[in-house]
Amino acid sequence: MPRILDYTGREADRTVTVADIVGLRAAGRQLAQVTASTPAEAAAAEAAGVEMVVCMSDFVPAVREGSRRVFVTAAVDFSGAVTEDDLLRDSLTALRAGADAVITARGMASVRRLAHEDIPVMGHLGFVPKKSTLYGGVRAVGRTAPEALELWRRFQELEDAGAFAVECELIPAEVMREIHARTGLATISLGSGPLADVLFLFTSDICGESERIPRHARAYADLASLHQQIDAERVRALTEFRADVAAGAFPDAREVAKVDPDELAAFVDALGEQTRDSEPA
């Protein structure tokens, strides 16, 4: 496992480095990436052998609490940054908190600004949820030759801007295959087929927690049912507690502290003496 110095200069072990990700294709390797927002999710990803996680930049401290080793990418588009200076500030904050890279769906000028500061930056191409109105809704991007050519142009621009990797969302697998073979960017596929350097799914989809599993995802568990059972059991327990309070059945002798009878008698006697001393003459 590579040993690095993080952005604050502290020694740290990482599952992979930026250099490893850039060199995946030449090495014939493929990695996995999932989302995380809590220490438990980050710890589970590390325990499962997942090399990379992505999170909102505000969640980096929580993710690092759960795992000191996974490669963490901070999404910096969701923390209120308006100007490029804001974006740079949020990126540096995320790196100081333990992120290894940042990802932005902002324009090429923003990517260029971050890369100019030697910040490892990923772009986001294909379907970008916050830009869905530009595509007329939720759909794959690159299904026509003109749209695929425009997408390829964006890949080239992103590489020229200094990004080292790109999240590729909802691009037809055949189009992704051709782009992957030609781009110098490390590719991260979210619903864009298997031909990419990194395959990415949301943890909530993998674990069966989402209300609707997207077509490109696969559920490996049914945590939603377990959460429902937990919620129902919580309500049952609280209901029984309230009923016991109403019936005078809580607490009983098992749930109260005991006092030695002699000590209690001495206490009561002392109270009596205080009461008599305080009575008016």
Interatomic CA distance for residues 121 and 117, integer angstroms? 10
Question: Hey, what's the torsion of the CAs at 102, 108, 112, 118, to 10 degrees?
Answer: 20
Interatomic CA distance for residues 148 and 129, integer angstroms? 18
DSSP class of 15: S
Q: Tell me if residue 169 is catalytic.
A: yes
The two beta strands, 52-56 and 31-35, are parallel
Question: Hey, what's the torsion of the CAs at 9, 11, 15, 21, to 10 degrees?
Answer: 30
Looking at 46, 51, 167, 169, which residue is catalytic?
Answer: 169
Taking residue 250's Cβ as centre, other Cβ atoms within 10 Å add up to 13
Interatomic CA distance for residues 192 and 135, integer angstroms? 17
Question: Any residues with CB less than 8 A from the CB of 136 and at least 6 apart, and which?
Answer: none
Residue environment code for 63-74, b if the CB has 16+ CB neighbours within 10 A, otherwise e: bbebbebbbbbb
Q: CA nearest 111: which of 52, 155, 151?
A: 155
Question: Could you give the residue numbers annotated as active site?
Answer: 169
